[in-house]
Amino acid sequence: MGLGPPGPANPLSSVDEGPLAPLGGGGPLPDGFRLLEADACLGVPGLPQSATGGTSLFTGVNAPAHIGAHAQGYPNTELKHLIANQGVLRKARERGAHVDFANAYTPAYFERGQTRHRSVTTVTAETAGIRLKRLEELCRGEAIYRDYSNQILRDGGHEAELLSPEAAGTRLGRMAKKRDLLVYEYFQTDIVGHRGTVDDARGLLSSLNRFLMAALGVLNPEEDTFVLSSDHGNIENMENSSHTSNPVPILLWGKGLHKWTEKSAKPSICDVAPGILSVVETR
């Protein structure tokens, strides 16, 4: 999700209140939020992609410069090595923080064994010693699926309760309250940016906005910090189906908002991991 000009091709423009409203110019930045525009191109030619963008986001290292190009899909051996050494969850854990990754995985994922594809977030979690969550935990209310509603799981024949954006957001907020640092990955915005219509995108973002509002409703801005960011733009320009070179949001809320340390006057996605480490507290 990126920050593009407002207009009919930008579905974020139709969000008129809540945390996503300022991202497409559809509404003002709500009280208590701060929005940084972060470069995702990182001085490397071509459009930003998930493997290198995600690695940059979760390590603070310029991953496309490190391997010489923007790389899509799953991280290669070199990027996995970078994540294993520099991952934000591992670093926070080494400082004594209780870290966790909220996303749930299906049995089919584990059945693939060593041949399974490991995304940036999967590697970030596993190399921090986090056990990936299963559907059992999802059913107990202790994990969230990648679409948070569980619709994808139900369509795939799994038994999972259909969650409203409010119910799922409340779950995310409650999970975060029990940890020092919780990561949740949501990439349906990228999928709809590639394959969906403007109406699909508007519906998705309206739901995501409700999910985020519910999560923030559980959190306390005097105690907690919320960070939303992205590895690259896409959904903010529905005129084409590819990623964009637009800056991406670093949307901040809560206690750590003023402690957030910026590496330079021109923020990039490499500021996200060090920024998180500058605000994470152990209890």
Return the number of the residue (50 or 149) whose C-beta is nearest Zn ion. Answer: 50
Q: How far is the CB of 234 from Zn ion (least distance, A)?
A: 6
- Residue from 84, 3, 7 nearest 36 by CA: 3
Return the number of the residue (190 or 271) whose C-beta is nearest Zn ion. Answer: 190
231 binds Zn ion (CB under 5 A): no
CA angle, 211 then 243 then 89, to 5°? 55
Return the number of the residue (100 or 190) whose C-beta is nearest Zn ion. Answer: 190
User: Which of 190, 224, 231, 271 contacts Zn ion by CB under 5 A?
Assistant: 190
Residues 121-140 that bind Zn ion (CB under 5 A): none
- Residue from 115, 49, 54, 60 nearest 85 by CA: 60
Q: With H, G, I as helix, E, B as strand and everything else as coil, classify residue 95.
A: coil
Binding range to Zn ion, per CB under 5 A, among 35-43, 109-117, 120-128, 189-197:
189-197
From CA 241, how far away is CA 229, in angstroms rounded? 20
Return the number of the residue (4 or 27) whose C-beta is nearest Zn ion. Answer: 4
From CA 137, how far away is CA 152, in angstroms rounded? 17
Binding range to Zn ion, per CB under 5 A, among 25-33, 188-196, 197-205, 260-268:
188-196
Distance of CA 124 to the CA centre of its chain: 13
Return the number of the residue (51 or 163) whose C-beta is nearest Zn ion. Answer: 51
Return the number of the residue (51 or 135) whose C-beta is nearest Zn ion. Answer: 51
**Cα(first)–Cα(last) distance of the chain, in Å?**
32
Return the number of the residue (85 or 241) whose C-beta is nearest Zn ion. Answer: 241
Binding range to Zn ion, per CB under 5 A, among 120-128, 155-163, 190-198, 261-269:
190-198
Q: Considering Cα of 88, then 232, then 147, then 209, what sign does the dihedral take?
A: positive
Q: How far is the CB of 194 from Zn ion (least distance, A)?
A: 6
Q: How far is the CB of 242 from Zn ion (least distance, A)?
A: 8
Return the number of the residue (44 or 213) whose C-beta is nearest Zn ion. Answer: 44
- Per-position b or e across 224-242, b if 16+ CB within 10 A of its CB: bbbbbbbbbbbbbbbeeee
Binding range to Zn ion, per CB under 5 A, among 95-103, 104-112, 186-194, 269-277:
186-194
Binding range to Zn ion, per CB under 5 A, among 9-17, 30-38, 182-190, 220-228:
182-190
Instruction: Label the pairing between strands 181-183 and 225-228.
Output: unpaired
The answer to whether the beta carbons of residues 90 and 127 sit under 8 Å apart is: yes
Binding range to Zn ion, per CB under 5 A, among 5-13, 129-137, 183-191, 221-229:
183-191
Q: How far is the CB of 252 from Zn ion (least distance, A)?
A: 24
From CA 124, how far away is CA 267, in angstroms rounded? 22
Q: How far is the CB of 200 from Zn ion (least distance, A)?
A: 15
Q: Where are the alpha helices (H) located in 178-266, listed in sequence order? A: 188-195, 198-218
Q: Which residues bind Zn ion (CB under 5 A)?
A: 190
